[in-house]
Structure 1
Amino acid sequence: MKDDIVLSVVLYSYLDRPIFDVMLNGSDIGVANAYGGNGMITGITVPFRQQTLTWRDAGSGETFAMKNSINLTEEQIPADAHYLAVNIYPDDTVEFVFDRYIPDRTPRGDQIIDKSERHGE
């Protein structure tokens, strides 16, 4: 049984403000614009255990932490996964999506983006 997996990480933020210092288990996975992403960070070691994710608000500098709990096990990751999409939602919850190819935005994220575009938020 392995202790961790090395993946390429894509960040999707559905927040209405830019964020920086996005840290997954102490590893910097980038920055994101409001309702945006950052490209990809390769070679991130993701341990099989309780995950931590924090980020800083670009306007205030305040640090936020994910409110939900993700306890990652080896069995949760598809055998052919090479990518992890980290999705940060406005309620400060986070969703991980693993895939063989670069994951797209989530359906929940698409709804948030669509609402912001319709209401000019």
Structure 2
Amino acid sequence: MIGRWLMNKVLDPLPVWLQLILVLAVFSPIAWNYTFAAKDAAFVFHNHVDRPIHDVNLNGKWIGGAAAHDGNGPGTSGGAICCGKLDSGEVELTWTVSVTQSQYDVGLRKQSKRLLVEIPERPNDELYLHVHIFADDSVKFFWSESTRSNYQIEQSKDAFVNVFEKSN
């Protein structure tokens, strides 16, 4: 109500052409940025290691962490972390591998890891960068339109085929 009163007090005395210019001046940069600027990426981290992984950073941007992988399914995920600008090319990936209580009891301790990795080219409509870390410290990246990674989809298909073939 106050906003409408204020807009009427400011815009009513102005000619229509000047009102139009003011509205365009305010909304044009927003439309330009939304249409032509580089879109931010959301990050989804997948842990394929039997130890918890936390403090995962991609070029200094925190992208999450996840519980230990139990060996079933396509890896545990820490959910989606939004948003950051990211270009394709070489980036630094750092993470900390932690321990569960039983792993701590047998002498394992947390370790910090660091890799220089290549980010794949980003397709136009894909928002989510999936980061998969495996037990041998190898890393795979996938772009996706959803929080489901291409790797998860392929793993699910393979698991379905294996189960289906074994049951027949």
TM-score (norm 1): 0.73
Bigger strand fraction:
1
Superposition deviation, residue 101 in structure 1: 1.9
Match in the other structure for 2:113: 64
Cα deviations by residue, 1:57-112 (Å, 9 ceiling, x for unpaired): 2232320123x731x36xx21111111111111111111110122233626x949x
Query: Do the aligned partners of 1:9 and 1:41 also contact (CA within 8 Å) in 2?
Result: yes
Distance 1:49 1:84 in 2: 13
Q: Which consecutive aligned stretches of 4+ in structure 1 deviate over 3 angstroms post-superposition?
A: none
Secondary structure of 1:51 counterpart: strand
* Structure 2, unaligned runs of 5 or more: 1-37, 70-75, 100-108, 160-168
Stretch of structure 1 that moved more, 56-65 or 28-37: 56-65
| Kept in 2: contact 1:84–1:103 (CA 8 A) | no
Q: Give 1:5 deviation, angstroms.
A: 5.1
Give me the CA root mean square deviation: 2.7
Letter aligned with residue 69 of structure 1: V
The reply on whether 1:24 has 2:58 as its aligned counterpart is: yes
Match of 1:117 in 2: none
CA distance in 1 between partners of 2:55 and 2:91 (Å): 16
Query: d(CA) in 2 for partners of 1:15 and 1:26?
Result: 22
TM-score in terms of structure 2 length: 0.55
For residues 105 and 11 of structure 1, what CA distance do their matches in structure 2 show? 13
Higher relative contact order (CA 8 A, sep 6+): 1
For 1:43 and 1:22, how far apart are their aligned partners in 2?
Answer: 15
Match in the other structure for 2:16: none
Contact 2:41 2:83 in 1 (8 A): yes
Change in 2 beyond 3 A, CA 1:55/1:62:
same
- 1:1-121 alignment, distance < 5 Å: 6-35=40-69, 36-59=76-99, 60-66=109-115, 69-70=117-118, 72=119, 76-104=121-149, 106=151, 110=155
**Which one has the largest radius of gyration?**
2
